[in-house]
Structure 1
Amino acid sequence: MLTYIKESIEELRTNITLPSRAESSNLMVIVAVFSILFALATWGVDSLFSELIQIYFDNIIN
């Protein structure tokens, strides 16, 4: 187990390269925009289903 951990740390040190600050900032903006769009889409579908369920139960009760 200790050998595995040592080899994993060595691999991280030698084979991993971090993106530049500018590239990281661009990727962060892209992730934020898509997260907001996905949240809005989820809210829209939830609102639609909520209205449909409300209409359905209003028709059953009346």
Structure 2
Amino acid sequence: MSEADPRKDVQDWATGDEPATGPQLSYLRTLAREAGEEVPQDLTKAQASRMIDRLRQASPRTGGGA
């Protein structure tokens, strides 16, 4: 990320250890279903964010994958 990019790395989130949010889980379930994966129980916000990023990169619907 560049200096102009205000996003923090998930490692640096103050709330990263809190439970994943409803919107995160909803989006994650959609991506996981399309990828044929399961969403683990009790994800933290940081874990959910990493999984979303990984699945988005692999999904043809979101511009990743072939």
Name the TM-score, length of structure 1 as normaliser.
0.33
More helix per residue: 1 or 2?
1
Larger radius of gyration: 1
**More relative contact order, 1 or 2 (CA 8 Å, 6+ apart):** 2
Name the TM-score, length of structure 2 as normaliser.
0.31
